[in-house]
Amino acid sequence: MSRRVTGPEIERLVQLLARLPGLGPRSARRAALQLVKRKDQLLVPLAEALGRVGESVRVCSTCGNIDTSDPCAVCTDPRRDASTIVVVEDVSDLWALERSGAVDARYHVLGGVLSPLNGVGPDDLDIAGLVERAHDPAVREVILAVNATVDGQTTAHYVTDRLQGLDVTVSRLAHGVPVGGELDYLDEGTLAAAIRARTPF
């Protein structure tokens, strides 16, 4: 806008909101307006929540999860199976697996995937930390829950190599038809994998 229509403080807020994933310039403006209109119910609580998270947030030095304590709630949960480590690329994957309720173990966040094209090498990921944790005799299995992308699979192979010689089983997620998925909409690679890995009915 060439002419000033609203305050620079509001424009600044719109710009920052537009940097959030999922919000473009237009939706950021709508969000800012909503925040301003619902100041007491939304704007003030959000400002406070951001402040509190900013003060208290820690990256777990063991697994890389984001929490307000270090070690994090997952690493210190005594009910979890300490013999299994689920390796993920990103904290968002850890949270997604937790939502599935299928994991009762500990995690290790690599912080990305190997990607020579993007200049991401082994030293950019927390692979050393994983190898160190896998040396613990209590650890019996490492589940590679990386994305089914080329970079993800390259990373899985590299991590497997680095764990060679240790007394741990390395496994990976099953490929197959997504639950609720329709065959007609699936790619050939997934269908082929699902056929190969068929199970008795």
Size of the site for its own copies (CB under 8 A): 60
**Interface stretch with its own copies, choices 33-41, 115-123, 138-146, 163-171 (CB under 8 A):** 33-41
Q: Using CA of residue 39, residue 42, residue 43, residue 49, what is the dihedral sign? A: positive
Return the number of other C-beta atoms located less than 10 Å from residue 115's C-beta: 17
Q: Which stretch binds its own copies (CB under 8 A): 34-42, 114-122, 148-156, 164-172?
A: 34-42
Q: Going residue by residue from 77 to 116, which x/- string records binding to its own copies, judged by CB under 8 A? A: x-------------xx-xx--xx-x---------------
Q: Give the residue among 32, 27, 38 at the shortest CA–CA distance from 5.
A: 32
- Integer Cα distance of 84 and 98 in angstroms: 15
Compute the distance between CA of residue 10 and CA of residue 32 in angstroms, rounded to an integer.
7
Q: How far is CA 64 from CA 19, 26, 165, 175, in A?
A: 24, 34, 24, 26
Q: Which is nearer to its own copies, 8 or 116 (CB)?
A: 8
72 contributes a contact to its own copies by CB under 8 A: yes
Shortest approach of its own copies to residue 157 CB, angstroms? 27
Query: Could you list the residues that contact its own copies (CB under 8 A)?
Result: 1-10, 12-13, 16-17, 19-23, 27, 29-37, 39, 42-47, 49-54, 56-57, 65-69, 72-74, 77, 91-92, 94-95, 98-99, 101
